[in-house]
């Protein structure tokens, strides 16, 4: 609504008083005030030349000014009452409480946003920010004092400085970060070794001696000047302090990558290492043992391997073995006696130090930023093959972004390496001829299954790194349940699936006392035992909690056999009960006092032995199309029948379907096995997913024990 301007005129025709109302709502009309009041906050206009066009322009200008004033004058209260009564309680409350409070909230919010923004930059671009910070702090470059960094207070860590010559200060930057390995690419040129990634980046002053050999020699001589006077008692006459003051016994690995002309490069490397060799600073092989020294030289790339193996009595240059080929070669530890020349492994601790491979070419990309079961098994085999030869594993080319994926890859690789190298498990007892007694056991209720129910916690991973495998098994016994009175004596006949890294140990057994258990076994003497042993379960490098996994597998499989009791002897094997046994094992540790025999408890089930072969072993080409169709029809019917009973099978795979040969007593030609991953109620025990059902063929879902739907 528009309000007109009314003015009273005197007899002389001049305006005596005026009141202006802008095009606002009635609540915004401001009355005329005395001259001693603050008139700056009121909108009064002169009345001269106040035509329609002028009025529209003045009104628009006042609206813009009002908006600008409301944005800029945040600390001024906009209540009309507070303007009229500036010293009232309401005005004082607005001025000293409400406005400062909301101002502080806004300032804290802006600071929080700035902090999150900065954290995101540091998370995504750490190296770029470091470089820009260095350029701001040192605009003329780092001072010369940084070329003489020491390692005082630096704790060495298991990391390798790849392409170290790209650092701001080669070698010293890696030592300050605690890296125990540095790498240099060398090119022979004019009787010298230039360092660079490509021929176009070479410079005659950037050499192997100037960047690495001479600084290392100076640093080692400086560290060993006083250490010769304070020599440890357990290293009489042979101790050499390394580059790290916090751990003088830690060796530094210098990885030299031969780019071209291997013979010429080998000769120059051997010659330039002579000062370090004379100072007894190089790790060497004396014909029988490895003598560790402050510096270990490893060659890779086009380095001639035959030059390393030519000297069998002394060698101070070691090779970088191909990790992807080690699993295809026989390890030296497979021979009980010292191997002869015809069985000597190609790569061993005598001639090699590292076993390296490109992560991207060998393992490949990670689906959903996680290792698949096949990728983990491949890494595990490579690590086992390298450690069997006494070599250290090094994966290069790991993903560097996003940082979450990078950290996950590092965590898995480091855990696997530490587990295989530092924690030796006792020998597997489930061998042919081994006898043991088992006592009947009433299983507890099936454990709840959630998405992350069996994932290992931070405390569990820390415990895995500090305690031995046997100590952990004794600390985490299986779920209690109820022990019965029935006892059965068993003898192992043949292994079916026995070894480290399996979810369960499966083997054929013979019942030694069937006469005392006639009601249970009904004259059957040969059965199949499935033992849920957490000691030999594949925990995916510490990602899974093995004790939670075996509890889940044991309770779910035993419960499934009981629910499907009417199908036993037909579509599924006969179930002869669940049992518990104690296994005496010897903890193998570094301390001889810890090598004591202790019992640990494991659970197992006994089922019928099914002759024949699995669908995985049978080739589809050996069956006509009609038989293949009938087989698939039987699989679908069984899965549907089980699903009708509110059970979801998460591991219905060809390896768990046995094909019974013709002429057997069974009516069905297929027998289904392995129900450790069964879900009851057809859904997870997850509050957020309680109403969701999962069918075979639906979106892939990874469960807590690594199984997928």
Annotated binding site for ATP: 530
Task: Read off the DSSP letter of residue 541.
Answer: T
Whether the Cβ atoms of residue 182 and residue 254 lie closer than 8 Å to each other = yes
Q: Is the dihedral of CA 343, 344, 347, 353 positive or negative?
A: positive
Distances (CA, A) of 356 to 41, 66, 322, 383, 418: 77, 71, 6, 10, 16
Burial of 269 (0-12, 13-18, 19+ CB in 10 A): buried
**Pick from 325, 417, 330: which is nearest to 380 by CA?**
417
Burial of 357 (0-12, 13-18, 19+ CB in 10 A): buried
Query: What does the chain come to in residues?
Result: 709
Distances (CA, A) of 498 to 26, 345, 530, 533, 610: 89, 27, 10, 11, 17
Whether the Cβ atoms of residue 330 and residue 345 lie closer than 8 Å to each other = yes
Distance CA 347, CA 253 (A): 18
Hey, what are 542's tokens?
Answer: 């510490």
Distance CA 36, CA 530 (A): 98
Hey, what are 583's tokens?
Answer: 């296994």
Hey, what are 310's tokens?
Answer: 């030519």
Whether the Cβ atoms of residue 557 and residue 632 lie closer than 8 Å to each other = no
Distance CA 406, CA 396 (A): 12
Distances (CA, A) of 653 to 2, 462, 615, 658, 707: 81, 35, 9, 11, 11
CA angle 439, 443, 448 (to 5 degrees): 150
Q: Give φ, ψ of 45 to 5 degrees.
A: -120, 150
Other beta carbons within 10 angstroms of residue 621's beta carbon come to 7
Please give the annotated binding residues, written as ranges: 530
Hey, what are 116's tokens?
Answer: 């999150």
Distance CA 390, CA 333 (A): 9
């Amino acid at each position: 609504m528009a309000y007109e301007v009314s003015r009273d005129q005197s007899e002389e025709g001049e305006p005596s008083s005026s009141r202006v109302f802008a095009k606002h709502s009635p609540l915004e009309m401001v009355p005329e005030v005395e001259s001693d009041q603050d008139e700056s906050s009121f909108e009064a206009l002169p009345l001269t030349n106040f035509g329609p066009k002028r009025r529209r322009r003045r009104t628009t200008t006042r609206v813009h000014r009002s908006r600008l004033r409301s944005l800029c004058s945040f600390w001024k209260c906009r209540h009309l009452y507070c303007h009229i009564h500036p010293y009232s309680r309401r005005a004082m409350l607005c001025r000293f409480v409400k406005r400062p409070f909301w101002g502080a909230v806004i300032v804290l919010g802006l600071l929080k946003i700035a902090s999150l923004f900065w954290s995101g930059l540091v998370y995504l671009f750490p190296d770029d920010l470091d470089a820009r910070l260095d350029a701001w702090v040192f605009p003329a470059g780092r001072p010369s004092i940084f070329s003489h960094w020491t390692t005082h207070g630096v704790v060495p860590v298991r990391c390798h400085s790849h392409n170290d010559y790209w650092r701001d200060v080669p070698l010293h930057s890696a030592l300050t970060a605690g890296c125990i390995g540095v790498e240099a690419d060398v090119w022979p040129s004019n009787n010298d070794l230039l360092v660079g990634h490509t021929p176009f980046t070479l410079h005659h002053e950037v050499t192997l001696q100037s960047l690495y050999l001479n600084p290392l020699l100076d640093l080692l001589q400086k560290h060993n000047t006083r250490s010769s006077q304070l020599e440890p008692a357990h290293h009489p006459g042979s101790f050499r302090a390394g580059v790290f003051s916090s751990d003088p016994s830690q060796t530094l690995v210098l990885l030299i990558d031969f780019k071209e002309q291997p013979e010429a490069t080998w000769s120059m490397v051997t010659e330039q290492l002579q000062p370090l060799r004379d100072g007894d600073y190089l790790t060497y092989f004396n014909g029988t043992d490895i003598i560790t020294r402050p510096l270990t030289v490893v060659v890779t790339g086009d380095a001639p391997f035959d030059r390393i193996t030519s000297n069998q009595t002394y060698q101070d240059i070691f090779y970088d073995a191909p990790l992807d080929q080690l699993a295809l070669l026989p390890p030296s530890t497979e021979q009980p006696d010292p191997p002869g020349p015809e069985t000597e492994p190609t790569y061993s601790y005598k001639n090699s130090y590292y076993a390296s491979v490109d992560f991207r070419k060998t393992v490949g990309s990670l689906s959903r930023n996680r290792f698949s079961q096949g990728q983990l098994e491949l890494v595990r085999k490579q690590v086992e093959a390298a450690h069997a030869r006494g070599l250290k594993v090094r994966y290069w080319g790991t993903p560097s972004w996003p940082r979450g994926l990078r950290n996950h890859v590092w965590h898995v690789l480091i855990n696997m390496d530490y587990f295989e190298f530092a924690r030796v498990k006792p020998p597997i007892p489930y061998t042919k001829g081994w006898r043991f007694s088992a006592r009947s056991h009433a299983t507890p209720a099936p454990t709840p299954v959630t998405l992350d129910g069996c994932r290992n916690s931070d405390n569990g991973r820390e415990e895995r790194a500090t305690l031995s495998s046997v100590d952990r098994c004794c600390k985490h016994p299986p779920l209690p349940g109820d022990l019965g009175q029935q006892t059965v004596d068993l003898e192992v006949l043949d292994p079916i699936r026995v070894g480290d890294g399996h979810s369960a140990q499966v083997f054929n057994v013979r019942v030694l006392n069937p006469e005392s258990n006639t009601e249970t076994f009904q004259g059957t003497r040969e059965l199949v035992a499935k033992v849920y042993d957490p000691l030999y379960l594949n925990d995916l490098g510490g990602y899974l909690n093995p004790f939670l996994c075996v509890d889940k597998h044991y309770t779910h499989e035993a419960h499934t056999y009981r629910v499907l009791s009417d199908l036993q002897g037909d579509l599924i094997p006969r179930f002869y009960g669940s049992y518990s046994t104690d296994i005496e094992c010897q903890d193998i540790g570094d301390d001889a006092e810890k090598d004591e025999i202790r019992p640990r408890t494991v659970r197992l089930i006994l089922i019928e032995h099914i002759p024949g072969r699995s669908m995985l072993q049978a080739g589809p080409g050996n069956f006509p199309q009609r038989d293949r169709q009938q087989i698939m029809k039987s699989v679908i019917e069984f899965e549907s029948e089980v699903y009708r009973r509110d059970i979801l099978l998460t591991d219905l795979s060809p390896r768990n379907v046995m094909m019974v040969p013709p002429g057997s007593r069974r009516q069905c030609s297929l027998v289904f096995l392995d129900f450790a991953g069964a879900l009851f109620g057809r859904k997870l025990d997850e509050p957020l997913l309680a109403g969701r059902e999962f069918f075979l063929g639906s979106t892939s879902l990874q469960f807590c024990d690594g199984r997928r739907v």
